[in-house]
Structure 1
Amino acid sequence: MTTDRGYPVPATLVEHALRFQESGAAPAVPRMAATVLLLRPAGDGFEVYLIRRVAAMAFGGMYAFPGGGVDPSDSTAHLDWAGPDPAGWGDRLGLAPQAAQAVVCAAAREVFEEAGVLLAGPDPDRIVGDVSDDGWEAARVELEQRRRGFAELLAGRGLTLRSDLLLPWSRWVTPEFEPRRFDTYFFVALLPEGQRTRDVSGEADHTLWARPADACDRAVAGELTMLPPTLITLGEIAACADLAAVARAAATRDAATPITPQLDLTGPDGPRFYLP
C-alpha cells in the first residue's frame, strides 16, 4: 500500500463528485458517527472484523468496520459508566462532554446492533459473556428498531457500559462532494472473551475476520473494495506486532483532529484520493 499515487476511487463516488461540481450546492453537514475495529488474537498475531455494506446503503458494496451515526438518545442517556468520564473522553476526542458521551455510546451501541458484541458488564471490572441467545437477540432487535434505548437495555439487565474497552484511534470526515457525510470517530476494541461476532443487522451482505495486512493486500489487489479511512486504518494497525502493541499505539494517537480525503479527478492515474 503506497500513498504517492493516492488511493483508488470507486466509480460511484466519481459520479457523486461530478454531480456536486455541476450543481454548485453547498456541502452537506457531516453527521457525528462512530465505528469500531473489533480485534481478536490469531496465532502469533491478531485479526480484525470487516463487514461489506449492502448495495442500497450509503457506501454500499464497501468493506468497513461496524458502526453508524450518533442517535439523539446517545447524548441524553443516563447509565452506569466505567472508564474515563465524559469530560475525560471529551479531552481525548476534542469534544464537549455531552457530545463525547454520545460518540462513545454510539460506538458501543452500534457494535452490539451490527455485530452482536456487547461492551458492558455487571460491574466496572467484569464483562458479560455470550450474548447470542434468543433473549439477547430480542433485546438487540428492539434496540436496532429504536423500540428501546441503549441505556434502558443496560439498566434493565443491571449492566455497566465499559467505555474503558474502547480505545480511540482516529477521526475521519467524509469529503464535501458526498450527499451523505459523516464525522466519524474510529475506536479499537478487543472481542470480549466468550462472545462472538454475528452477522445480524441486515446492513451487511458479507462479513469476515482477516489479519490486517492480508486485508490490505486484498484491497490493493482489488479483491476487497474499501475507502481510504478503512484501508489506511488497517495499514496502521497492521504495523502493530500484537494486540498489546495496538493498545500502546492507541494511547498516543491523535483522535481529535479530523482527516478528510481529497479527490483529484484530473491526475495522470485517473481519479485518486489523497490525504491533505
Structure 2
Amino acid sequence: MLGLGRGKGEMSSVPRDAATVILLRDTPLGPEVFLVKRTGRAGFLANAMVFPGGRLDEADLHPEWPDRCADSLEDAARRLGLPSTQGTAALALLVAGLRETFEEAGLLIARRGESLFSLEGSGEASHVFDLRAELNAGRLSFKDVVQRLELHLATDALLYVARWITPEIEPKRFDTRFFMARAFEGQEGRHDEQETTASAWMRPADVVSACESGTLQLAPPTYRILLELAPLTDVEAALASRAAQTPPTIAPRFIDDDGRLSLLLPGDFQYDGGQLDGGQLDGGQSPVRNRISLQDGRWVSEGRGY
C-alpha cells in the first residue's frame, strides 16, 4: 500500500519537499473535503484517495511569484513558521500546493482584483479547463495560467496545519506541508484523468468509515487528518481548531507490532524506544499508544494527537 520493499541495506532516500491542500466546504449535513483518487499507475500511493498535492517543482521558485501572490516573502515565511530569510522557499511551498490543486482537482484558489475567483456564471469554465490541459501537457506553466487569467494566488487563504515526513524505509520519500482552506464558491472541482482518475466531495466521517470497512484506500496521513476532522460541525470549527495549534512535525516510524505493520507516531510509548515490563513502562507508567496499524489490508488508528 505504501510501496514498501526496498532492498536490505539500501540507503534511505532524501525526502523531497511537497505540499498538500485540504479543501473544505460547508453543507447542510456538515463539512465536506475534496479528495482525488490516484491512478493505479502511480509509483506512490497507487489507487489511494488523497488530498490534492505533490512535490515542489523548480518553477514554484520563480522570482516573479511574489508579484502574483497575496503573501510577501516575509508573510509566507511567517505563515510556515520559518525565518524571514527562508521566504522564497516558504512561498514556493504555498505556490506548489495551489498549483497541484489546480492540476489535479481543477480548483483555483485565487483572486481577480478584490473578488474571489469563481466560475459560476462566468462562462470561463471551458477556458480554464483548457488551460489546465495545456499545463498538464507541459505546454504552459502555472505562472502562465495565472497571468492569462489575470489572477493573484490567494496564498493567504492557506492555513499551515501539519508536516508529515515519509518513513526512511520508503524508497520514495516526501517532506510534505499540509495546508487547510475553505473552498471558494463557484468551483466544484474535477480530476484530471491522468494523475487522478476520480474525485469527490465527501464528509470526513463517511471517508473514515469507508476506509475502516476496507472499501476505500487512504494514505495514513489522510486517514489521520480525516479522523480529526470527522467530529467537527463546520468549516469554521475545523479552521479554528487548527489555528489554535502549533503545526506538528510528524515523522512516523515503522515497526512489526505482533505481526502487524504499524506506524508509530510522536507520543507513542515505543516511538523513542520505550519497552514494556509486565505491561508497564520503566518507572511504572501505563503505556500510551499513538499509532496507525495495518489490519487485514486497512488502516486502524489508536490514540490521538502528537
Q: TM-score, normalised by structure 1?
A: 0.86
**Which segments of 5 or more consecutive residues in structure 2 lack a partner in the other structure?**
267-306
* Mapped contact 1:116–1:132 kept (Cα < 8 A): no
One-letter code aligned to 2:62: T
Whether the aligned pair in 1 keeps the contact of 2:16 and 2:173 (CA below 8 Å) is: yes
What is residue 74 of structure 2 aligned with on the other side? 87
CA distance in 1, matches of 2:94, 2:193: 20
Q: Give the root-mean-square deviation of aligned CA atoms.
A: 1.9
Q: Distance in 2 between matches of 1:183 and 1:155?
A: 29
* 2:254 counterpart of 1:263: yes
User: How many residues matched?
Assistant: 258
Contact between 1:170 and 1:253, CA under 8 Å: does it hold in 2? no
Partner in structure 1 of residue 11 of structure 2: 26
Percent identical among aligned pairs is 35
Instruction: Tell me the equivalent position of 1:67.
Output: 53
Q: Which amino acid aligns with 1:127?
A: L
Q: Match for 1:50 among 16, 31, 35?
A: 35
Name the one with the larger helix percent.
Answer: 1
1-structure distance, mates of 2:197, 2:105 = 13
1-structure distance, mates of 2:197, 2:59: 28
Matched, 1:244 2:236: yes
Correspondence for 2:213: 221
Q: Measure how far apart 1:270 and its partner are.
A: 1.4
Note if contact 2:79-2:159 (Cα within 8 Å) is conserved in structure 1.
no
Do structure 1's residue 126 and structure 2's residue 115 form an aligned pair?
A: yes
Partners of 1:262 and 1:97 lie apart in 2 by 30
Is structure 2 residue 192 aligned with structure 1 residue 200? yes
Q: Which amino acid aligns with 2:139?
A: R
Q: Which runs of 5+ in 1 are unaligned?
A: 1-9
CA-to-aligned-CA distance 1:194-234 (integer Å, 9 cap, x gap): 11111225112332221111211221121211122011111
Q: Is the 8 A contact 2:20 2:97 kept in 1?
A: yes
One-letter amino acid of the counterpart of residue 235, structure 1: L
Distance across 1 between alignment mates of 2:124 and 2:165: 33
| Residue type at the aligned position of 1:222 | G
Shift of residue 165 of structure 1? 1.7
Alignment pair present for 1:107 and 2:97? yes
SS of match in other structure, 2:31: strand
AA partner of residue 46 (structure 2):
G
Counterparts in 2 of 1:62 and 1:269: CA distance versus 1, 3 Å: same
Q: For 1:185, which of 177, 194, 204 is the aligned residue?
A: 177
Task: Please point out which of 39, 50, 53 is paired with 2:24.
Answer: 39
Partner Cα distance (2:38, 2:29) in 1: 30
Query: Which structure has the larger Rg?
Result: 2
Letter in 1 for 2:117: V
TM-score (norm. length: structure 2):
0.78
Residue aligning to 1:209: 201
User: Does 68-77 or 244-253 show the bigger shift?
Assistant: 244-253
Q: Given residue 97 of structure 1, which amino acid in structure 2 is its aligned partner?
A: G
Q: CA separation in 1, counterparts of 2:13 and 2:109?
A: 32
**What is the deviation of 1:132?**
6.2
Q: Which has the higher contact order (CA 8 A, sep 6+)?
A: 1
Moved more, 224-233 or 204-213: 204-213
1:35, distance to aligned residue in structure 2 (A)? 0.9
Post-superposition shift, 1:44?
Answer: 4.2
Kept after mapping to 1: 8 A contact 2:70/2:152: no
Partner AA of 1:270 in structure 2: R
Residue of structure 1 equivalent to 2:287: none
Q: Secondary structure at the match of 2:147?
A: helix
Query: Alpha carbons of 1:30 and 1:133: their partners in 2 closer, same or farther (altered >3 Å)?
Result: same
The SS at the match of 2:250 is coil
Match of 2:283 in 1: none
User: Could you tell which deviates more after superposition, 204-213 or 125-134?
Assistant: 125-134
Q: For 1:45, what is the secondary structure of its paired residue?
A: coil
**Contact 1:113-1:201 at 8 Å conserved across structures:** no
| Residues in 2 aligned to 1:153 and 1:82: alpha-carbon distance in whole angstroms | 13
